[in-house]
Amino acid sequence: MLSLAFIVLSLGTALPLAAATGLPDVLHRDVVVIGGGASGAYAAVRLRDDFNKSIALIEKRDRLGGMVNTYVDEKTGATYDYGVQSFLNVSKAAEFFARFNISIGSGSTSPSLITEYIDFNTGKKVDFTPPSSSKQLAAIAKFLKVIEPWESMLSPGYWNFPQTNNIPEDFLIPFGEFLTKYGLEDGAPLIYSTTGLGVGNMSEVATMFALQSFGWDMARGMTGKMGLFSPTSGGNQALYNAIAKNLGDDVLYSSTVIDSRRTEFGVSLAVRNHKTNKVTRIIARRLLVAIEPTEVNMKPLDLSPSEWNTLSKFTYSNEFTGLVDNAVFNTSYYYFNLPSTAAPNHYLVFQDEPMVASFQYTGLEHLFRVMIIGNTTSTADEAKVLAQNSFNTLLKSGRLSKSIRDQKLSWAAFSMHGPMHARVSVDQVKCGFFQDLYKLQGARSTWWTGGAFSANFQTQLWQFDDGLIPKILEGL
């Protein structure tokens, strides 16, 4: 029988020279978690504080919170969240804030804005009129009724995803076709402009993946059946800062796994701090992976050919958000990118990615939130160029307050989100992809959470973790 000692010894031979020259600290833990974003930070708190398990949390950045981006205005101290904006009150989400004494309110920090639809490729105004708010909300309520019977198949997570013959046909048709089939077109502008646009041209994405970007809880949130909230002060980062304080030295920041050995008896990870170069070895009985299972992220994780065969089927998109500053923007405006063919009321026509989705006034001086939807290969530099080009187009075509050429956007903040929105082809879904994916849960002492294994919302991931934790704890 293999033992943890065996794992440690065999990993030792694989450690790089840096580790061999200075003996790394060795940490023994019940559970080691990789990734301190929504799913990882939440799981770490619950495992340690609610289930009394020792943990270590490995986070590559110098803060927790992942896709949360809180900008703090140096002059006034005002905050603006240009990444995650609000939390759905799924399950016990509000209680989680309360345990850290973070007060929450329903108020959105966004000022009321004038929306201007523009084709960012040409700079021409698009004479597009969305349905009235009441029509949009009625469509979302109807949408919820249509999708409600399928909820347990996709949310939280794919535990009950049906076998090939029982997959609802509607899951696999393009989302635009689905909305048309059920007469839900009036809901499309709201679905798209809130969270649907993350997957790119939402009309063409298979319905089941569009539902992961705007599904049951978002529909409940929009129609008042579920609360949406955010902290009343300090922005969304306030929660993750409080988690960081609480977890203290159990978090290894600026660190990634550089080598690993995973067996059914436990895991051993070599973790390097990229600021100090120090290598720490973590020996744990369970591993929880809370990062996207991309090739880069998985490289040090000792994947077996069959694990890799499954995980490599995922494709991703990239999103980028930032705050740009330029006095020629008209404050109080929300410049929204739609193709000219969306006029006057073609609600299912969207731009293809990569593209800048919008420039949205933040209420802070001349700062606008920019949202850029990339494709699978888009880089941060390309996203910034795209934003500058779209800005130039708006400027040249007279959409902004002055037609001055060669204005440069200055970036007050920028963040790359991705790869995210993990999805696979319809054929792979039919061939049992999600059953194969979930066979990975628990194998080789490794459990998986995060957007690729559940829905892409903070508190839905917490709910997913709540279901996963008892499984992780079995036999521990």
Ligand X SMILES: Cc1cc2nc3c(=O)[nH]c(=O)nc-3n(C[C@H](O)[C@H](O)[C@H](O)COP(=O)(O)OP(=O)(O)OC[C@H]3O[C@@H](n4cnc5c(N)ncnc54)[C@H](O)[C@@H]3O)c2cc1C
Residues of the chain by 3-state class (helix, strand, coil), percent to 5: 40, 25, 35
Rank residues 193 and 297 by Cβ distance to ligand X and give the closer one.
297
Query: Taking CB under 6 A as the criterion, which residues in 11-50 touch ligand X?
Result: 34-40
Candidate list 27, 44, 46, 86; residue touching ligand X; CB under 6 A: 86
CA distance 35 to 40: 5
Query: Taking CB under 6 A as the criterion, which residues in 415-454 touch ligand X?
Result: 417, 450-451
Which span sits near ligand X by CB under 6 A: 57-65, 110-118, 374-382, 465-473? 57-65
Given a contact cutoff of 8 angstroms between Cβ atoms, the answer to whether 446 and 289 are in contact is: yes
CA distance 446 to 440: 8
Half-sphere exposure of 316 (CA within 13 A, CB side): 20
Candidate list 197, 291, 323, 422; residue touching ligand X; CB under 6 A: 291
Angle between helices 237-247 and 38-45 (to 10 degrees): 40
Rank residues 93 and 349 by Cβ distance to ligand X and give the closer one.
93
Candidate list 79, 85, 390, 445; residue touching ligand X; CB under 6 A: 85
Candidate list 456, 463, 464, 465; residue touching ligand X; CB under 6 A: 456
357 interacts with ligand X by CB under 6 A: no
59 interacts with ligand X by CB under 6 A: yes
Strand order of the sheet with strand 87-88?
A: 87-88, 228-231, 104-105
Query: Taking CB under 6 A as the criterion, which residues in 120-139 touch ligand X?
Result: none
469 interacts with ligand X by CB under 6 A: no
| DSSP-derived 3-state class of residue 254 | coil
463 interacts with ligand X by CB under 6 A: no
Q: Is the peptide bond before 344 cis (omega within 30 degrees of 0)?
A: yes
Half-sphere exposure of 174 (CA within 13 A, CB side): 10
Structure tokens at 233: 């002060």
Q: Which helix (H) or strand (E) holds 336?
A: strand 333-337
Q: Would you say 257 is a known binding-site residue?
A: yes
CA distance 260 to 265: 14
Structure tokens at 474: 């079995």
DSSP 203: G
Query: Taking CB under 6 A as the criterion, which residues in 252-271 touch ligand X?
Result: 256
297 interacts with ligand X by CB under 6 A: yes
CA distance 419 to 258: 20
Interface map 380-419 toward ligand X (x if CB under 6 A) = -------------------------------------x--
Cα distances (Å, whole numbers) of residue 130 to 126, 138, 222, 247, 332: 11, 14, 16, 46, 19
Given a contact cutoff of 8 angstroms between Cβ atoms, the answer to whether 240 and 68 are in contact is: yes
67 interacts with ligand X by CB under 6 A: yes
Given a contact cutoff of 8 angstroms between Cβ atoms, the answer to whether 407 and 415 are in contact is: no
Which span sits near ligand X by CB under 6 A: 59-67, 112-120, 155-163, 301-309? 59-67
Candidate list 237, 321, 360, 378; residue touching ligand X; CB under 6 A: 321
Q: Would you say 32 is a known binding-site residue?
A: no
Name the β-bridge partners of 70. 81
Interface map 197-236 toward ligand X (x if CB under 6 A) = ----------------------------------------
Candidate list 84, 301, 373, 422; residue touching ligand X; CB under 6 A: 84
Rank residues 111 and 398 by Cβ distance to ligand X and give the closer one.
111
Strands 315-325 and 279-289: unpaired
Rank residues 128 and 320 by Cβ distance to ligand X and give the closer one.
320
Rank residues 131 and 189 by Cβ distance to ligand X and give the closer one.
189
Candidate list 7, 32, 66, 155; residue touching ligand X; CB under 6 A: 66
Question: Least CB distance from residue 422 to ligand X, whole Å?
Answer: 9
Question: Least CB distance from residue 292 to ligand X, whole Å?
Answer: 7
Candidate list 461, 468, 469, 472; residue touching ligand X; CB under 6 A: 461
The alpha carbon torsion through 356, 359, 360, 365 (nearest 10 deg) reads 140
Angle between helices 458-473 and 38-45 (to 10 degrees): 50
Structure tokens at 238: 């306030």
Candidate list 290, 383, 387, 437; residue touching ligand X; CB under 6 A: 290
- For residue 26, which amino acid is it? V
319 interacts with ligand X by CB under 6 A: yes
CA distance 290 to 50: 19
Which span sits near ligand X by CB under 6 A: 61-69, 165-173, 376-384, 423-431? 61-69
Rank residues 329 and 414 by Cβ distance to ligand X and give the closer one.
414
CA distance 318 to 353: 10
**Total binding residues toward ligand X, as defined by CB under 6 A:** 33
Candidate list 71, 87, 314, 434; residue touching ligand X; CB under 6 A: 87
**Chain residues in the site for ligand X (CB under 6 A):** 34-40, 58-61, 66-67, 83-88, 256, 290-291, 297, 319, 321, 417, 450-451, 456-459, 461
Which residue ranges make up the annotated binding site?
A: 39, 257
Which residue ranges make up the annotated binding site for FAD?
A: 39, 257
